[in-house]
Amino acid sequence: MAQKLVIITFLAVPCVGVYLISMRLTPRKGLLRVCEKLFIGIAVIYLVNLALSPFSLSITQNPLAALAAGWLGLPGAALVFAVQSLI
């Protein structure tokens, strides 16, 4: 669990640096917004997995699920969980 937090931190620090440097450049704002939502989704899925682990439930961690959770928040995580349980 601590390894995942370290990995998220090492991925988030360069992303924040690039985000702050290039926010003044208009064409890159869209790409950085997607990166921001991706990292937010990774954090949301991680926290939901921590909450669901006592019940032996989990959400798969992939980029598409992270984008859905990042863009929609907790309803996105619930959507990913519902789609995962159907498949």
The pLDDT value given to residue 65:
85
Q: Using 50, 70 and 90 to split pLDDT, how confident is the model at 3?
A: confident
Please tell me the total count of domains within the chain: 1
How crowded is residue 36: how many other Cβ atoms within 10 Å of its Cβ? Answer: 14
The pLDDT value given to residue 60:
83
Q: Is the pLDDT confidence value at 23 over 70? A: no
Q: Name the residue with tokens 């598409």.
A: 64
The pLDDT value given to residue 26:
59
The pLDDT value given to residue 56:
86
Helices 63-72 and 28-52 sit at what angle, rounded to 10 degrees?
100
- Domain of 20 in residue numbering reads as 2-86
Kindly report the pTM of this predicted structure.
Answer: 0.64
